[in-house]
Amino acid sequence: QKQGFDWYMRKEIFEQPKAVADTLLGRLNDKGELQLDELRMSPELLRRINKIVIVACGTAFYAGLVAKYAIEHWTRIPCEVELASEFRYRDPIVDPMTLVVTISQSGETADTLMAIRHAREQQAKVIAICNTNGATIPRESDAVIYTHAGPEIGVASTKGFTTQLVACYLLGLYLAQVRGMKYGDEIAALLTELERMPEAIQQMLDSQQVVLDLAKELVDATSVLFLGRHVGYPSALEGALKLKELAYIHAEGFAAGELKHGPIALISQDLPVFVVVPPKGRDQLRDKVISNIAEVKARGARTIVLAEGDDDEAAAVADTLIELPKISTLLQPMAAIIPLQLFACELATVKGHDVDQPRNLAKSVTVE
């Protein structure tokens, strides 16, 4: 059932426009309000919470890092993101006013499940973002937002990630609506932009050739760095994770602003460095990222720059340019991750690895 694709993973990468559209389906009512019927958590309760803690593992944790930027910006509720495996062992401050949000594709990840149990013992309310109907995590949570990615078979998460982002955006906007921070027209405008995402993702898929060629060219790389700022930072982390998992090479994601605080020492001749550039209009951030690219390029790095097509300054420091569509900064990870997923899939294919069953990995990690 790979439908002509060599790997389930590649098929699932290409399913993302539909998976994202399906996860958005039926969320706006005729009054232009966001509705999350399945949530079954009263607006009164959602108005009372004073802190959000997102807990997850791996790729889902990186989706949570993106969510923090969006949720805090839209709701002004302080939001922490924590690895599920760390959460319960550090005596976290959680009380009945805390909303714990877990993100899990499988709904069976042991660390995430243990985190939920711990949070509920402290009387916190728990919302699960999950792709698997009736899995243990949603069953043990107070409420669920299902992603509608369909079954994810490739061990490396792809459509799981982008649909988790959608669910996080929906939750953030819903909280903003319930708490009176955003009104019908603003929500509708943001949802319209979200509804254009399947098209933006398709555009990234249609222009995959540059990434496929790059994978062939970089097949002997032993180390690859990924840099980004703001939501580009978790995108960089996720790009690096995909490469570790599938190509078995050293890959690291950094916040671009940290470069001078250490990682720049790693830059050597021809080291491939992927950089996610914020959209034009976010010029304070964008200028800094572009000067980071110039810094690594001056030290001999091979720069692969993800930037808007008309960003001439970014193009000027790019050895390879991967064009991103025009979208708001907060939504950019949904487009930026596509070429990074494709790159990891292709590099592993060229190296002759089993992309769907990477060594040492299991699809769902049911032991702590």
The nearest distance, CB 246 to ligand F6R, in angstroms, is 9
Q: Name which of residues 234 to 293 contact ligand F6R (CB under 6 A).
A: 241, 245
Does position 136 interact with ligand F6R (CB under 6 A)? The reply is no
* Number of residues that this document lists for the chain: 368
Draw the binding track, 349-368, toward ligand F6R (x: CB under 6 A; -: no contact): ---------------xx---
Amino acid letter for position 316:
A
The nearest distance, CB 244 to ligand F6R, in angstroms, is 9
Phi, psi for 103 (deg, rounded to 5): -125, 125
The nearest distance, CB 247 to ligand F6R, in angstroms, is 13
Nearer to ligand F6R, 17 or 58 (CB): 58
The nearest distance, CB 157 to ligand F6R, in angstroms, is 4
Q: Which two tokens stand for residue 215?
A: 């994978």
Stretch that binds ligand F6R, among 51-59, 309-317, 326-334, 336-344 (CB under 6 A): 51-59
Nearer to ligand F6R, 238 or 308 (CB): 238
Please list, in sequence order, all residues whose beta carbon lies within 8 angstroms of the beta carbon of residue 271, skipping any fewer than 6 positions away: 221, 223, 224, 225, 300, 301, 302
Nearer to ligand F6R, 144 or 301 (CB): 144
Q: Is 363 a catalytic residue?
A: yes
Binding residue count for ligand F6R, defined by CB under 6 A: 15
Q: Which residue from 85, 98, 157, 177 is in contact with ligand F6R, where contact means CB under 6 A?
A: 157
Q: Which residue from 13, 41, 57, 100 is in contact with ligand F6R, where contact means CB under 6 A?
A: 57
Stretch that binds ligand F6R, among 55-63, 72-80, 282-290, 324-332 (CB under 6 A): 55-63
Draw the binding track, 303-342, toward ligand F6R (x: CB under 6 A; -: no contact): ----------------------------------------
Residue among 244, 280, 351, 363 flagged as catalytic: 363
Q: Which residue from 8, 20, 58, 92 is in contact with ligand F6R, where contact means CB under 6 A?
A: 58
Draw the binding track, 74-113, toward ligand F6R (x: CB under 6 A; -: no contact): ------------------------------xxx--x--x-
The nearest distance, CB 30 to ligand F6R, in angstroms, is 34
Q: Looking at the annotation, which residues are catalytic? A: 363
Contact set with ligand F6R (CB under 6 A): 57-60, 104-106, 109, 112, 156-157, 241, 245, 364-365
